[in-house]
Amino acid sequence: MIYNRVALIGLGLIAGSMAYAIKRANLAKEIVGTARSAETRDTVRRLGFCDRVTDTAAEAVKDADLVVLAVPVGAMAAIAKDIAPHLAPGATVTDVGSVKRDVINAVGPFLSDAVDFVPCHPIAGTEHSGPDSGFAELFENRWTILTPIASTTAEATQKLRALWEGMGANVDEMDPDHHDLVLAVTSHCPHLIAYTMVGVADDLQRVNDTEVIKYSAAGFRDFTRIAASDPTMWRDVFLSNKEATLEILGRFTEELFALQRAIRTGDGDHLFDYFTRTRAIRRGIVEAGQDTDAPDFGRGTKR
Ligand code: NAP
């Protein structure tokens, strides 16, 4: 047992997966949860992945030694304000938001010195959301990044690290701004590009819908999976990781123009060299165990 009582605020994909993984490895004595809507709270009562579901966040955090904010990034500040007076002295507050600096700026000011704040981000997810979408294996062999702030105690960070490791994750620590830049490259901008590509296909009148769906295995299918991700979560990610995503998108546009020019001028060497370089990156990801080279990207084994 690492924690006595874990309070999950927000009961979607990430919180649900945490609850299943915590229970599987017996990492906490009790899991209490709450969500915004009565519908989600009732669903979780039926699914049973929390020992108790409360109607308010204030009730959920009572006597909890770990409080996990698992709501969209844009909702973190309001939740922090709401729970702050009810937090137990000595408790650890963490969040699982996909952006770190903005969440630290939003949540930090509401927390007293009597609690520890350990911001965190599990680099694991699916395009599904809501209380039905969680599963215990989500974090297995995936990285979770902790971005402790100046006031975070080493003990609080260490305990949270042990929790994530107990859930099967590999854990790293990083500076919050660096996290936001890295994630802009590896996750945020790729999502925006996928959203754009699917939007373009949708707009293109020359290719009718049947053809787009029928031939989607040629690459488009992976874009559609990413572009099916939760609109609220991703709106908040771009609004809160503005600077880093704009910087990476600027570089992306430059490279895209260079490739566009190579196509127009028939510069095959440029295209070949570029694609050779990018292929090596894919190989590195597979070798690091972060994806499979199965022809279907291992879909048969993942949910
Ligand atoms: P989710 O499945 O959509 O669940 C979100 C939960 O937050 C729901 O219980 C929802 O309540 C609640 N909520 C939404 N808006 C709220 C508001 N304004 N006030 C209070 N509660 C609100 O989301 P998720 O995928 O678990 O994501 C949660 C967090 O993890 C986000 O910050 C996201 O950036 C981060 N994250 C996501 C992924 C991913 O791939 N999905 C990966 C890593 C980190 P109702 O159900 O009652 O509406």
pLDDT (tens place) for every residue of the chain, 303 residues total: 999 999 999 999 999 999 999 999 999 999 999 999 999 999 999 999 999 999 999 999 999 999 999 999 999 999 999 999 999 999 999 999 999 999 999 999 999 999 999 999 999 999 899 999 999 999 999 999 999 999 999 999 999 999 999 999 999 999 999 999 999 999 999 999 999 999 988 887 666 777 878 888 878 888 999 999 999 999 999 999 999 999 999 999 999 999 999 999 999 999 999 999 999 988 888 888 878 777 655 454 344
Whole-structure pTM value: 0.93
From ligand 1's centre to the CA of 10, what distance in Å?
A: 6
The CB of 122 under 6 Å from ligand 1? The reply is yes
The CB of 71 under 6 Å from ligand 1? The reply is yes
Closest CA to ligand 1's atom 23: 12
Residue 206 has a pLDDT of 66
The CB of 9 under 6 Å from ligand 1? The reply is no
Residue 303 has a pLDDT of 40
- The structure tokens listed for 256 are 């895209």
Q: Which atom of ligand 1 is nearest to the CA of 41?
A: 47
Identify the structural domains of the chain with CATH numbers, from first to last: 3-174 (3.40.50.720), 178-266 (1.10.3660.10)
Q: Which of 72, 81, 88, 77 lies closest to 32, judged by CA?
A: 88
Which residue has 């165990």 as its token pair? 289
The CB of 241 under 6 Å from ligand 1? The reply is no
Residue 218 has a pLDDT of 77
Residue 301 has a pLDDT of 39
Q: Which helix (DSSP H) or strand (DSSP E) does residue 179 occupy? A: helix 176-183
Pocket probe for ligand 1: among 13, 44, 121, 145, the residue whose CB has the most ligand atoms within 8 Å is: 13
From ligand 1's centre to the CA of 70, what distance in Å?
A: 6
Under 8 Å between Cβ of 292 and 286: yes
Q: Is 157 helix (H, G, I), strand (E, B) or coil?
A: helix
Under 8 Å between Cβ of 106 and 80: yes
Q: Which atom of ligand 1 is nearest to the CA of 36?
A: 47
Cα 87 from Cα 90, distance rounded (Å): 9
From ligand 1's centre to the CA of 283, what distance in Å?
A: 32
Radius of gyration, alpha carbons of the chain? 21
Side-chain half-sphere of 290: how many Cα atoms within 13 Å?
Answer: 14
Residue 300 has a pLDDT of 47
131's CB contacts (< 8 A; 6+ apart) are 11, 12, 16, 35, 40, 43, 44, 47
Q: Which helix (DSSP H) or strand (DSSP E) does residue 32 occupy? A: strand 28-34
Residue 285 has a pLDDT of 84
